[in-house]
Each structure stands twice: as structure tokens, then as C-alpha cells.
A and B are shown apart, each in its own frame.
Chain A
Amino acid sequence: MATPREETISVGGIDVHAWIGGQGHPLLVLHGAGGNRGFTRWMRQVGEHFTVWAPTHPGFGRSADAEWMDGIDDLARFHLWFIEKAGLGRPHVLGHSIGGWTAADMATMSPGSIDKLVLVAPAGLKPETGEILDVFYHSPAELLPMTVHDPKTIPEWNELYGRPPTPAEQEIALRNREMTARLTWKPYMHDPQLAHFLPRVGNPALVVWGREDRIVPVVCGEQYRTLLPRARLAVLERCGHLPPIEQPDEFARLGIEFLEAS
């Protein structure tokens, strides 16, 4: 895959930082609360088959602030606008965690704007049993080991988490956490209305979950599969809340297979 490039795309007066790379049908990738990690291993593999557009949500990382945003529905409307401004036509959309919730919400608002949908451990639904972990209760240092199943099995562990963050990275981590609080504080990490709109989404959908997810319980995967008319659920064993990072090769294989199927 050619080296990805970075661009700033203005949407509604907000400068959005984005990583773009690969070739083929556009695939919009929406990151989770941890922020935009750029072209990690799974994305490079997917980039062999699709043109990956990975914007950083407003208020996160190097994108501009959007203090007026109040919930994931705002972010969903924003990214539908981003699709138009970036000229992506009718892209596949893949979102992880709160990015997955955003992707699902976008599909309920405008299913025709999206081709296929990949939801990776998305928040957004209240679990029928158990609870979504309160991430704001814990420091980032405490959260990391709870987020993954087993650091030893993660190929990019050292690259991504192997050294203490620089002051600039700490500032970005704080921004990410603040914006996540702004978007998801109450009702915490879910939207009671979402379940009523998911049946509208007739797009082919793949829901991916880690069996050992300690952030958003895997039961939510069953709920998404039941509510989305054309969804399949893939549960990865010995995997926590970060399937794309914990099992990048298997995750990329699943994603490519699903997106390329006719």
C-alpha cells in the first residue's frame, strides 16, 4: 500500500484532520474514544482493497473543537456531511466503539448514504444484561489493561503503548477524553432511541465483537444483530474491546471478506 497522506477538510467551518490511503471503493473509518491512531496494521491490509478515509472526530486529536456538540447524534450528522464534503459518494462505513455507535446512527438517519456497515464493539445500546464500563471512573492508565484481553498477544503493543506518552500526546489524550465526555455522558454511552431506528437500516452489516470485551459487553452484539435486518455477528475469541488492534490480521480478513462479497 502506498504511504497514506494527511489532509485537513473543512466541514461546517470545522477543520477535520484525516488520514487517507489505499485504493478502491471508499471506506470511511470512524475511530473510538481512544482517538485516531492513523494507519495501523489492519488498516494497511484493508487499504490494499479499499481507499481508507479516517477522519479525526471534531474535538479529538488534531481536529478543531466543536463545543456545541452534545451527543453522538450530532457527530453522526456531522460525518454524513463529511461524506459529502470529501466527495466519498456512497462509502462503506466502519466504526469502532463510539465510532461504531456513530456509524450505526448515521445509517439510521440516512441508510442510502452508506453502502455496507461494519460495527466493531459499538456502544449505543443499553446492554440487556450487565453494564457498559464507566470509563470516566478510571484513569487512562487503569483503563488500558481493561480494554484489551492480553497485551502479550498484540503485535503492535510496543509500537502503540510501549513508551510513556509525550506531553503533546498527553494533551491529545485529554482532549479525546473531554470530547468523549461531552458526547456520551448522559445517558451514559447509549441512546434509548437508537433501538427503535436500527430496523430501518437494511444495509448489509457485519458486527464484530471480542468475547472478552470488558468495556461494552458482548450481549450488545447480539442486540445489534437482532435489531439490524441484515446483520451478521462475528465474535473473536480471546479478544477484548479492541479487535482491530488485538487481532489485526483476523480482523482485516473478516472485514475485507465481508466488504468484497457481492
Chain B
Amino acid sequence: MINEHHSTPSCVDVGVNMTAAVLARTTRRAKILLLGNILPIEDNPVRMAEQIAMADLISGGRVLSGFVRGVGIETWWSNSNPIHNRERFEECHDLILKCWTEPGPFRWEGQHYHFRHVNPWCLPLQRPHPPIWIPGTASPETALWAGRRGYTYVPFLVPFEIARELFEFYRQGAAEAGRTVTDDNLGFLICAVTADTKEKALEAGRHFVWRMGPTLRGPVDFFAPVGMRSRAGAQFALKARPRSLSTMSYEELLDGHFIVAGTPDEVVDRFARVRRELGVGHLLLEAQESRMDHPTTMRSIELMGAKVIPAMAGV
């Protein structure tokens, strides 16, 4: 899983499609989850459709195409009006899907995007298009929207009860569209590290605190520009995180499952609990953070592959 942000130390991958193209050549079997392309700040959805298609082609059809609304920082970075964030997200998505699924040339005269001649020749290998994934941190509208379309929906950095509520919105959207919700539709993203001893794992896990705190420190209007959230979304966000993660201690972050750190057995227990609590079919790991060193990170990934993931198959 790779993601993209701009003007923030919390993620310096500035081009998810560029990284996808690299991974397409350095990996052979793994799915490449882009989580994802930031739609509202994109001025040319046709180019974005082409680039994702090209990554899918190079990888032999291994791309999972995530779409995101971006965080406040990207609004400043791109100077894109936050008032239009959701409208642009939806229209950009609609145009990308049309590029992938309908033969051109066609014209697109939308509200935010205007193209007189759309006719991409580079199309995804996966037909009709790569699976689409949508992360969520607080907006009920996004969960409903993803549910209506049957996309895989992945909450992140929220307590279990809030994730369950977001899944309810997802189910509501799915029901409206007459869709059945499967395990494949629901995921959860979690910061997790394992090590040979509990002490080492707990020490490594502390690095995740950095992304909950210092990288989010700043004026609230910088992180949540005016208009980016609807009234309903803002109220839900307040309920979802009555306390900012940056005010929580490491122990509280561990208790709340915002961070998982332990021996492989302990991590299996934690992940099994996530599965029981949320009934998700996909668990995504944020496996490295800030100054977590390379050997620690590689050992964690090795143990996840050798012990945790096989054990989870039986859960």
C-alpha cells in the first residue's frame, strides 16, 4: 500500500502513480494498492486515468486504484478551493471511470472539468477497470458514496465504534443501490509493528506516535480548511475524535488499537480482535514510520509474513 501527500513530513511520496510504476517492476506477485490518488486537487483527470492505466499495464494488472479527497494540506499545496473538494472528488472520479469504460472520443463539459476531446489510448489491463478502494476517517458521505458503488472502504485512525458506524453508512449506501456487502468490501488500516521480543516491539511502536502528534501540530484551519467538510461531516468528525490523537499517550494509543506493537502472537491476538469487532475482509498495515530503522522494519515485515499472516488465515 502506498499513499501520496504534499507539503507534509508525514508522507513524502509525492506521486503515487510514479511509485506504483517503480513497484510494478520491483515486485512480481503482490497487489499494488494506491491509497491513493488525490482527486480534488487533480486538474486533469484524463491524464490521471492514463497514468493509473499505465501502472496497471506495467504491473500486469496488479493495481488496486484508491481514490482519496486529500487532507487540508493538499488544499493549500494545490490552491484548490476546499469548498469544491467533494464536488471535484466525485466529478474527477466520474471522468476517470468514463475514460476507462467508454470508447472515445467524447466531450466532457462538467462543473469543474472541461475537456473537448477525450480519447485515451492507454487503458487498464484489468477490465472493466482496476478495483477501486476508498479510505475514510470521518465523512459519512464518503462511506455512503463508496457503498452505493460497491468499492472497498477502509477506515483509518478511528476507534472501533466509529468504524462500525462508518460501515453502517456504507451498508446504507449499498442497500440503496441494491448491493450485497461482502468481506471484500470492508477493510481497516492500522499502524502495526512486531519484533522478536515484546520490549523491542514496544520500543519500535513508539515511532508511530510521531505521525499522530507532531506532524499534525498547527493551526486547525490549516488542517481543516473552511468548507472542506459538510456540517454533517464536521459533526461526525467531532464525535469520531472527541480527543485529538496528538493528546493521547502511547499507552492510550495502544489501548485504542490506533497502534499495534507486540510479539507475533500478541499481534495475532490484536488483529483477531479487529476482525471480530469489525468483520473486515482486508487489514492494511502501516508498517513503518518516521525514524523506525531499516533492520527493525524489515524484521517486522518478515515476522508478519512468516508468523502473523499465516496465523490470521485460521482466524
- What is the interface of chain A, defined by CB distance below 8 A to chain B? 136-139, 142, 174, 177-178, 181-182, 185-186, 188
Given A142-B219, A177-B226, A181-B82, 17 other A-B contacts at CB below 8 A?
A136-B221, A136-B225, A136-B226, A137-B219, A137-B222, A138-B219, A138-B221, A139-B221, A177-B227, A178-B226, A178-B227, A181-B83, A181-B226, A182-B227, A185-B81, A185-B83, A186-B80
Q: Which residues of A contact B83 (CB under 8 A)?
A: 178, 181-182, 185
B interface bracket (residues with beta carbon within 8 Å of A): 10 to 19
Q: Is B220 an interface residue (CB 8 A)?
A: yes
Distance of B221 from chain A, by nearest CB (Å):
5
B273, chain A: closest CB distance, angstroms: 38
- In the bound assembly, the distance between CA atoms of A137 and B221 in angstroms comes to 6
Residues on A with C-beta less than 8 A from B221 are 136-139
What are 9 sample pairs from A and B whose C-beta atoms fall under 8 A apart? A137-B219, A138-B221, A139-B221, A177-B227, A181-B83, A181-B225, A182-B81, A185-B79, A185-B82
Q: Give the A-binding residues of B (Cβ under 8 A).
A: 79-83, 219-222, 225-227
User: In the docked arrangement, what's the CA distance between A139 and B224, Å?
Assistant: 11
Q: From B221, which residue of chain A is reached at the shortest CB distance?
A: A139
A139 to B79, CA, bound (A): 18
Contacts of A137 in B (CB 8 A): 219, 221-222
Closest to B79 in A: A186
A139 CB to nearest chain B CB (Å): 5
Which residues does chain B contribute within 8 Å of A181, judged by CB atoms?
A: 81-83, 225-227
Closest A residue by C-beta to B82 = A181
Alpha-carbon distance between A222 and B234 when the two chains are bound, in angstroms: 42
**Least CB distance, A169 to chain B, in whole angstroms:** 16
Return the chain B residue nearest A185 by Cβ: B81
Interchain nearest-CB distance for A205 vs B (Å): 31
A137 to chain B, nearest CB (A): 6
In angstroms, Cα B221 to Cα A174, docked, is 12
What is the bound-complex CA distance between A186 and B82, given in angstroms?
Answer: 11
What CA separation (Å) do A177 and B221 show in the bound complex? 12
**CB-defined contacts of A136 to chain B, threshold 8 Å:** 221, 225-226
How distant is B112 from chain A, measured CB to nearest CB, in Å?
A: 10
Please give, as numbers and ranges, the residues of chain A lying within 8 Å of B81 by CB-CB distance: 181-182, 185-186
Whole-angstrom CA separation of A188 from B225 in the bound complex: 14
Q: How far is the CB of B78 from chain A (nearest CB, A)?
A: 10
Q: How long is the Cα–Cα vector from A219 to B219 in the complex, in angstroms?
A: 29
Residues of chain A contacted by B80 (CB below 8 angstroms): 186
Q: In the assembled complex, which residues on chain B have CB atoms less than 8 Å from the CB atom of A142?
A: 219
Give A142 to B218 CA distance when docked, in angstroms: 13
Q: Which A-B residue pairs are the 9 nearest by beta carbons?
A: A185-B81, A178-B227, A182-B83, A177-B226, A181-B226, A181-B83, A139-B221, A181-B227, A186-B79
Q: Are A139 and B226 in contact (CB under 8 A)?
A: no
A142–B220 Cα gap in the complex (Å)? 11
What is the CB-to-nearest-CB distance from B62 to chain A, in angstroms, rounded to a whole number?
37
Q: How distant is the Cα of A139 from the Cα of B226 in the complex, in angstroms?
A: 10
- Inside 8 A of A186's CB, which chain B residues have their CB? 79-81
CB distance from A213 to the nearest CB of B (A): 21
**Complex Cα gap A128–B81 (Å):** 25
Question: With the chains together, A182 CA to B81 CA distance in Å?
Answer: 7
Are A139 and B227 within 8 A (Cβ)?
Answer: no
CB neighbours of A182 from chain B (8 A): 81, 83, 227
Residues of B within 8 A of A139 (CB): 219-221
A136 to B81: give the CA distance in the assembly, Å. Answer: 11
The complex places the Cα of A177 from the Cα of B82 at a distance, in Å, of 12
Once bound together, how far apart are the Cα atoms of A178 and B227, in whole Å?
A: 6
Shortest distance from the beta carbon of B70 to any chain A beta carbon, whole Å: 15
A138 and B219 CA atoms in complex are apart in Å by: 7
Q: How far is the CA of A139 from the CA of B220 in the complex (A)?
A: 7
Instruction: Give the residues in chain B near A188, CB-CB below 8 Å.
Output: 79
CA distance A178 to B84 in the complex (A): 11
How far apart are A140's CB and chain B's nearest CB, in angstroms?
Answer: 9
**Complex formed: what's the CA distance from A138 to B76 in Å?**
13
A178→B225 CA distance, assembly (Å) = 10
Query: How far, in angstroms, from A209 to B82 measured CA to CA in the complex?
Result: 30
Question: What is the chain B residue whose CB lies nearest that of A139?
Answer: B221
Docked CA distance A27–B225 (Å):
35
**A177: min CB distance to chain B, Å:** 5
| Smallest beta-carbon distance A90→chain B, Å | 34
Give the residues in chain A near B219, CB-CB below 8 Å.
137-139, 142
Tell me how far the C-beta of A67 lies from the nearest C-beta in chain B, rounded to whole angstroms: 9
Chain B, residue nearest A140 (CB): B221
